């Protein structure tokens, strides 16, 4: 960050050189009004303390709010308490300074404005007595805060905190030139050191080669002279072993096989004291780079008709799966004897499922008739029903915050034609699970995209970042938007079709990278792209996911109402079938109404660190395929189902794949 002022001057010089005088004046004015103060902690603290000395509480709180939104809200959740303590200390310093300057009217003004908000807060209970204390500097409740040591400690702590944030920020390329220069010097020194080490290693290698040649000569000499492997204790044993070798030439083969023809550890016939050599495991990955070890792949038949969406709980062994009959089943895949919970939804079609992120207790599901139901697994009941706006009854997607009792969902019109033609084409809603109320609503309006020839479409994908302060959305017209969850307003947005190579721009997955410096996007043509979350519209990499999306049977593309569907009753008694059993023994589910997913959103899932993802892919769409996100390369294929897959999910060390034959396969990996 020391290079900011230098880069600013270079930009000014360039603007003048190019003749951009108006831009130069605007840039110079913005530099003078820079709230970030060139990312210098000293100047930021100086700005904060200027509001303290002028007794401007509104200016102080406004500037702190700016810093909170700009920097503090992006921190990990474990730092939120520290941020709150700094805010409290800053306000206390404001009151202490006003007391020292004998501005009691400012203290009374503060408590009149914020007293109702602070009432009941134990951090502030004693401070209501500050304006009535005759000598606060010697009052045991306040004397610490009037000491020079406390003010200096607060100043230093805040300074260090801000510096740490700035030092760990991702920098734009323009600010990295000084870092690159220092890195080059360090690298040059390291290269010289490595060259010296290489010369030493070359010398050692020459000496090692000489020693190897000598050893080879000794081995050859021993083989020519018939040097025995083991010294025998007497001539009779030597003669007996020689007779055995001459009359039984197949001894080595026999000891290396069992009666079933399976090779066992090899034992040398001429020396029973030698260590056995075990057969090595054969790599069956067919040339794929395989970073995973699959410990088991089990198949379950909880559903009695084709599965439309399936989700693993975030912290346990539970799976929620919904079928084309709009029946949700909640079940344990880890061998528990707990019974399967069955939820019938006869009045509407279920479009989305999501587990509450902080426990296995709540399951949320959205329908095409305005409702979002909250099901409590412990009480086995629906504890609340949220109702969407009549204009956007289809709840396409639900996503829960990882840190708060908050979730977001997208709504769309009943018919997609209405989304293309209407001025308001969809909505994004946040809801609070504590108060069971709608918190904020954002409405997509076509007029906001009047400069684009693309129709504005409803939001299809929603994902929170790690601390729940932002979320990223994607839609079928190719728009990526990053929202500030506090205000539910877009921080930035761009359209992937502007830079797509072969993509369809119909987004079926958008996800923050693990470091949150980028957004991974997958569209319905199988293009995986990585976009900068700092520079809107800047694509960092693009690759093609071979095999995704699969070519599915050409049939009806809409979910039909439950009343027109039938399911095979003979399947309801089947509990589970292990992967070691032939899939030919699984009875096929015959749908009287053909079904093809109208969304590929459930067909993609990332692992926790976003280094890999699983998609519906190989073998005619009947297999799950794991890809590496950095390259789009296939690294693993999972066992096939009998019919095409409709949903996948990945939670920690477990992947599930669900298909239209009603099967759900659970693939597990060892804990890291």
Looking at every residue in the chain, the average pLDDT score rounds to 78
Domain range enclosing 490 = 296-306+389-668
Specify the range with the lowest mean pLDDT, choosing from 52-66, 409-423, 568-582: 568-582
pLDDT at 436 over 80: yes
**Of 383, 438, 381, which is closest to residue 409 (Cα–Cα)?**
438
Instruction: For residues 340-366, give the mean pLDDT.
Output: 89
The answer to whether residue 550 sits within a structural domain is yes
pLDDT at 15 over 60: yes
The answer to whether residue 370 sits within a structural domain is no
Q: 153 and 301: one domain?
A: no
The answer to whether residue 195 sits within a structural domain is no
Instruction: For residues 427-445, give the mean pLDDT.
Output: 91
pLDDT at 537 over 90: no
Residue matched to tokens 């040339």: 287
State the number of CA atoms in the 13 A half-sphere of 212 facing the CB.
6
Which pLDDT does position 288 carry in this prediction? 56
Phi, psi at 427, each rounded to 5°:
-145, 155
Q: Within 10 A of 212 (CB to CB), how many other CB atoms are there?
A: 10
The answer to whether residue 193 sits within a structural domain is no
pLDDT at 123 over 80: yes
Which pLDDT does position 581 carry in this prediction? 37
pLDDT at 588 over 90: no
Give the pair of three-digit tokens for residue 494: 């761009």
Give the pair of three-digit tokens for residue 457: 């479409």
Contacts of 442 (CB under 8 A, 6+ apart): 427, 428, 429, 483, 488, 489, 490
The answer to whether residue 246 sits within a structural domain is no
Tens of pLDDT, residues 506-534: 898 999 999 888 999 999 889 999 999 88
Of the pLDDT bands very low, low, confident and very high (cuts 50, 70, 90), residue 418 is low
Q: 151 and 300: one domain?
A: no
Which pLDDT does position 345 carry in this prediction? 83
Instruction: For residues 481-489, give the mean pLDDT.
Output: 91
The answer to whether residue 462 sits within a structural domain is yes
pLDDT at 415 over 90: no
Burial class (CB in 10 A: 0-12, 13-18, 19+), 479: buried
Which pLDDT does position 291 carry in this prediction? 72
Contacts of 385 (CB under 8 A, 6+ apart): 371, 372, 373, 374
Which pLDDT does position 235 carry in this prediction? 40
User: To the nearest whole percent, how much of the chain has pLDDT over 90?
Assistant: 35
Domains identified in the chain, total number: 2
Where a domain ends, among 169, 198, 228? 169
Measure the CA–CA gap between 495 and 480, rounded to whole angstroms. Answer: 6
Strands (E), 77-196: none
Q: Within 10 A of 346 (CB to CB), how many other CB atoms are there?
A: 10
Residue 293 and residue 670 in contact, taking contact as beta carbons nearer than 8 Å: yes
Answer whether 0.85 is exceeded by the pTM: no
Where a domain ends, among 169, 199, 216? 169
Residue 523 and residue 110 in contact, taking contact as beta carbons nearer than 8 Å: no
Q: How far apart are the first and last CA of the chain?
A: 37
The CATH number assigned to the domain holding 421 equals 2.130.10.10
The answer to whether residue 43 sits within a structural domain is yes
Where a domain ends, among 112, 147, 169? 169
Which pLDDT does position 376 carry in this prediction? 92
Tens of pLDDT, residues 255-314: 333 433 333 333 333 333 333 333 333 334 445 556 778 888 888 888 888 999 999 998
The number of residues making up the chain comes to 672
Burial class (CB in 10 A: 0-12, 13-18, 19+), 12: middle
pLDDT at 577 over 60: no
Give the pair of three-digit tokens for residue 571: 């399947």
Partners of residue 427 on adjacent β-strands: 411, 443
Tens of pLDDT, residues 79-116: 888 889 999 999 999 999 999 999 989 989 999 999 88
The answer to whether residue 223 sits within a structural domain is no
Tens of pLDDT, residues 132-156: 988 998 888 899 999 999 999 999 9
Measure the CA–CA gap between 383 and 14, rounded to whole angstroms. Answer: 62
Specify the range with the lowest mean pLDDT, choosing from 161-170, 274-283, 654-663: 274-283
């Amino acid at each position: 960050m020391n290079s900011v002022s230098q880069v600013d001057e270079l930009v000014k010089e360039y603007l003048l050189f190019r003749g951009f005088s108006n831009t130069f004046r605007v840039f110079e004015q913005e530099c003078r009004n820079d709230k970030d103060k060139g990312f210098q902690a000293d100047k930021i603290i100086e700005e904060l303390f200027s509001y303290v000395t002028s007794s401007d509480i509104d200016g102080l709180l406004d500037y702190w709010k700016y810093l909170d939104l700009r920097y503090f809200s992006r921190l990990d959740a474990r730092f939120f308490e520290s941020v709150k303590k700094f805010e409290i200390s800053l306000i206390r310093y404001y009151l202490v300074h006003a007391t020292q300057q004998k501005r009691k009217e400012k203290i009374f003004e503060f408590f009149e404005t914020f007293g109702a908000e602070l009432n009941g807060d134990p951090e502030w209970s004693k401070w209501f007595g500050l304006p009535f204390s005759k000598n606060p500097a010697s009052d045991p409740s306040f004397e610490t805060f009037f000491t020079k040591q406390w003010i200096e400690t607060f100043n230093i702590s805040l300074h260090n905190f801000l510096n740490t944030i700035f030092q760990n920020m991702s920098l734009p390329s323009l600010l990295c030139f000084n870092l690159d220069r220092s890195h080059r010097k360090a690298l040059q020194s390291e290269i010289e050191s490595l060259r010296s080490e290489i010369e030493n290693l070359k010398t050692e290698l020459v000496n090692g080669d000489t020693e190897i040649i000598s050893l080879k000569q000794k081995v050859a000499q021993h083989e020519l002279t018939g040097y025995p492997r083991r010294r025998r204790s007497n001539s009779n044993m030597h003669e007996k072993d020689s007779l055995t070798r001459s009359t039984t030439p197949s001894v080595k083969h026999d000891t290396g096989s069992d009666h079933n023809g399976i090779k066992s550890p090899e034992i040398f016939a001429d020396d029973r004291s030698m260590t056995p050599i075990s057969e090595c495991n054969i790599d069956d990955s067919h040339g794929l780079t395989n970073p995973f070890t699959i410990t088991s792949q089990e198949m379950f038949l909880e559903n009695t008709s084709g599965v439309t969406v399936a989700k693993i709980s975030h912290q346990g062994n539970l799976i929620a799966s919904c079928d084309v009959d709009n029946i949700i089943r909640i079940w344990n895949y880890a061998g528990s004897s707990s019974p399967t919970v069955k939820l019938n939804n006869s009045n509407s079609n279920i479009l989305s499922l999501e587990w509450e992120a902080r426990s296995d207790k709540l399951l949320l599901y959205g329908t095409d008739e305005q409702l979002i139901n909250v099901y409590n697994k412990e009480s086995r009941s629906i504890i609340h029903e949220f109702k969407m706006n009549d204009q956007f009854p289809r709840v396409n997607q639900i996503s829960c915050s990882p840190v708060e009792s908050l979730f977001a969902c997208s709504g769309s019109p009943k018919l997609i034609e209405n989304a293309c033609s209407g001025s308001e084409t969809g909505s994004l809603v946040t809801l609070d699970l504590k108060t069971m109320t709608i918190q904020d609503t954002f409405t997509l309006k076509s007029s906001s995209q009047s400069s684009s020839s693309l129709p504005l479409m409803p939001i299809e994908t929603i994902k929170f970042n790690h601390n729940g302060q932002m979320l990223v959305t994607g839609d079928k017209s190719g728009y990526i938007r990053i929202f500030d969850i506090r205000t539910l307003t877009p921080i930035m947005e761009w359209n992937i079709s502007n830079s797509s190579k072969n993509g369809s721009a119909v987004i079926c997955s958008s996800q923050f990278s693990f470091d949150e410096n980028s957004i991974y996007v997958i569209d319905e043509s199988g293009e995986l792209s990585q976009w900068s979350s700092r520079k809107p519209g800047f694509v960092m990499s693009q690759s093609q996911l071979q095999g995704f999306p699969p070519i599915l049977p050409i049939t009806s593309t809409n979910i039909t109402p439950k009343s027109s569907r039938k399911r095979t009753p003979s399947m309801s008694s089947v509990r589970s079938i292990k992967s070691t059993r032939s899939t030919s023994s699984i009875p096929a589910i015959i749908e009287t109404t053909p079904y093809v997913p109208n969304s590929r959103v459930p067909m993609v899932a990332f692992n926790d660190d976003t280094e890999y993802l699983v998609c519906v892919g190989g073998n005619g769409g009947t297999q799950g395929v794991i890809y590496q996100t950095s390259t789009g390369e296939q690294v693993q294929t999972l066992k096939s189902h009998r019919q095409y897959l409709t949903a996948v999910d990945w939670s920690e060390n477990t992947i599930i794949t669900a298909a239209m034959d009603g099967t759900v396969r659970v693939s597990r990996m060892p804990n890291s």
